[in-house]
Amino acid sequence: MSENYQGLGQYSMEKGAARKRRSKYIVIGIVVLLVILIAGGVTAGILISNNNKSSSGGKSSTDKSTDKNASKDPSVFKKDPSLHKSFYGMAYTPEGSLLPECGNSLENVIKDIQLLSQLTTRVRLYGADCNQTALVLEAIKQTKVEMEVFVGNYVVPTDNTPYIRQREAIKSAIEIYGTDHIAGVTVGNEFMLNYLTERKSNDAQSAIAREGAAILIANIEDTRNMLASLGLKKNIPVGNSDAGSFFNTEVLSAIDYGLSNVHAWFANTTAEGAADWVTTFFEETNVQPAALLPNNPKMYIAETGWPTKSSDLGNANNGAADASVAGLQIFMDTFVCQANKAGIPYFFFEFFDEEWKDHQFGGVEGWWGIFNAE
Ligand SMILES: *[C@@H]1O[C@H](CO)[C@@H](O)[C@H](O)[C@H]1NC(C)=O
Ligand SMILES: *[C@@H]1O[C@H](CO)[C@@H](O)[C@H](O)[C@H]1NC(C)=O
Ligand SMILES: *[C@@H]1O[C@H](CO)[C@@H](O)[C@H](O)[C@H]1NC(C)=O
């Protein structure tokens, strides 16, 4: 999926509009429900106070206020018994976090975090535009769930403005929310992949690659300085994320952790063979080289998953297997248990299907979610 990673984690306007329409109906629904509840509550209150005049009359009003609080308090939500905290981590971007549209909302992020918290205790973000860092931290605060976040800064090679804008957003979020739920700051997502692909190269150790690496390393150092300027008590690791075979050695030497995308689908494996392929690729291509460096950066699998379908026939099969729900199930059954047992840190890709990617890229791009768009 490397060729299309650029927009990863961003969302379509169409989807945002659909959400807005949905939200409108939800609001109308809630108003109607409230009217019914208030009417019902008043009636019940009259009945109860008439019936229980002499007994413990306080009880009914306590029950009523508990119900009222439960509907408003994001830390009180219904858990789905079929979900388990089986995943080390999950790749996540709040819907509507792409400039210039944005359109994300705290309400929706809270819903996502409520759901995510039933699957994992870690999420990673790709960028910091559209206030997503603060929204996610606010949602964690309000839901009171156990969750840590690898926040992200999506770096563009030709223009440093986005980097600075996102650095300031991350800084401000840390000033407001502190560092309790921050596991790291990831500077750059597939920066080297994009840098080299645009320059018709695929060698992450070439002279061209070192030019790109210098841009990225300057931003990594700048982020360290920003964190140092805050005088934090906790040491926040600074990392980088890229496609599995695009880690430049100088970049690796400058980071505390590396997040590596490892996708068996694009290596034309079967669904049955995918878990072993991912584990072996990650160990040989990322873990072993990183372990040779003096700074010994910790390596994570940044993305791994399996597509459930393709929007065109040509991409529905990778030569060895189909894009299918059955394939995703096989990959989850094998990879998740294997990786958890072996202590491999990974972020599953991904939380839900992304319609905008399907519109923009077609093929399997929009169909990697363990949940559909709804
Ligand atoms: C419900 O919320 C109100 C206002 O925040 C608070 O005063 C009250 O104690 C809460 N009741 C319960 C049962 O939690
Ligand atoms: C960002 O999100 C936080 C948390 O919801 C909110 O308090 C803040 O006002 C938002 N900032 C902007 C600029 O939207
Ligand atoms: C995978 O198979 C497709 C044909 O289904 C082919 O176009 C592609 O080059 C193959 N990729 C790899 C990495 O072997």
Statement: residue 207 has pLDDT above 90: yes
Q: Would you state the pLDDT for residue 216? A: 98
Mean pLDDT of the chain: 87
List the alpha helices (DSSP H) in the chain: 13-51, 58-72, 106-116, 132-143, 161-177, 191-198, 207-229, 249-254, 271-282, 288-291, 325-331, 337-342, 355-361
Q: Is residue 137 located within the same domain as residue 226?
A: yes
How far does residue 90's CA lie from ligand 2's centre (Å)? 23
**Residue 335: which residues within 8 A CB-CB, separation 6 or more?**
274, 275, 278, 279, 304, 346
Cα–ligand 2 centroid distance for 326 (angstroms)? 40
The residue with tokens 């299309």 is: 4
- Do 263 and 187 share a structural domain? yes
Amino acid at 120: T
Other C-beta atoms lying within 10 Å of the C-beta of residue 89: 25
In this predicted structure, what is the pLDDT of residue 357?
87
Closest ligand to C-alpha of residue 59 is 1
Q: Check pLDDT > 80 for residue 1.
A: no
Q: Whose CA is nearest to atom 2 of ligand 1?
A: 69
| 373 within some domain | no
For residue 72, the CA-to-ligand 1 centroid distance in Å is 10
Question: How far does the centroid of ligand 1 lie from the alpha carbon of residue 58, in Å?
Answer: 14
Distances from the Cα of 38 to the Cαs of 24, 32, 42, 64, 123, in angstroms? 21, 10, 6, 11, 39
H/E stretch holding 243 reads strand 238-243
- Which residues' Cβ are closer than 6 Å to ligand 1? 65-66, 69
Mean per-residue pLDDT for 136-142? 98
Task: Examine the pLDDT at 31 and tell me if it is beyond 60.
Answer: no
Active site residue 303: yes
* Sign, Cα dihedral of 349, 78, 180, 156: positive
pLDDT of residue 356: 84
Total structural domains within the chain: 2
Task: Answer whether residue 3 shows pLDDT above 70.
Answer: no
Q: Is residue 104 part of a domain?
A: yes
Q: Do 10 and 98 share a domain, yes or no?
A: no
More confident residue, 291 or 372: 291
Same structural domain, 270 and 343: yes
Backbone angles phi and psi of 285, in degrees to 5: -90, -30
Residue 47 pLDDT class (50, 70, 90 cuts) = very low
Q: What is the CATH number of the domain that holds 133?
A: 3.20.20.80
Q: How many CB atoms lie within 10 A of CB 113?
A: 27
Note if 190 is an active site residue.
Answer: yes
Residues 63 and 134 occupy one common structural domain: no
**261 Cβ partners below 8 Å, 6+ apart?**
1, 2, 5, 190, 241, 242, 243, 244, 301, 302, 303, 304, 349
Q: What percent of the chain has pLDDT over 90?
A: 78
Residue 336 has pLDDT above 50, yes or no: yes
Q: What are phi and psi of 180, to 5 degrees?
A: -55, -35
Per-residue pLDDT for 145 more than 50? yes
pTM score = 0.80
CA of 135 to the centre of ligand 2 (A): 7
206 and 62, same domain (yes or no): no
Are residue 113 and residue 230 in the same domain, yes or no?
Answer: yes
149 falls within a domain: yes
Which atom of ligand 3 approaches the CA of 317 most closely?
5
**148 and 227, same domain (yes or no):** yes
Give the CA count within 13 Å in the CB-facing half-sphere of 125. 34
pLDDT reading at 16 higher than 90? no
Q: What percent of the chain has pLDDT over 70?
A: 81
* Closest protein CA for atom 13 of ligand 2: 131
Other CB atoms within 10 A of residue 338 CB: 14
For the CA of 319, the closest atom of ligand 3 is 5
Which residue has a Cα nearest atom 10 of ligand 2?
Answer: 131
Amino acid 138: pLDDT: 98
| 107 and 238 both lie in a single domain | yes
For the record, the structure tokens of 66 come out as 């508990």
Q: pLDDT band at residue 23, thresholds of 50, 70 and 90? A: low
Measured CA to CA, the distance from residue 357 to residue 194 in angstroms comes to: 17
Residue 194's CB is within 10 A of a number of other CB atoms, namely 22
CA distances from 160 to 156, 165, 167 (A): 7, 9, 11
Domain assignment of residue 374, yes or no = no
Give the residue numbers spanning the domain of 329.
90-361
Least confident stretch, 59-63, 142-146, 275-279, 334-338: 59-63
167 within a domain of the structure (yes/no) = yes
The residue nearest atom 12 of ligand 3, judged by CA position, is 267
Quote the CA–CA distance of 359 and 7 in Å, as a whole number. Answer: 12
Task: Flag whether 349 is in a domain.
Answer: yes
Least confident residue range of 177-181, 245-249, 260-264, 368-372 = 368-372
Given the residues 95, 303, 354, 365, the one annotated as active site: 303
> With bands split at pLDDT 50, 70 and 90, how would you rate the model's confidence at 373?
confident
d(CA 187, CA 330) in angstroms, rounded, equals: 33
- Regarding whether 220 and 258 lie in a shared domain, the answer is yes
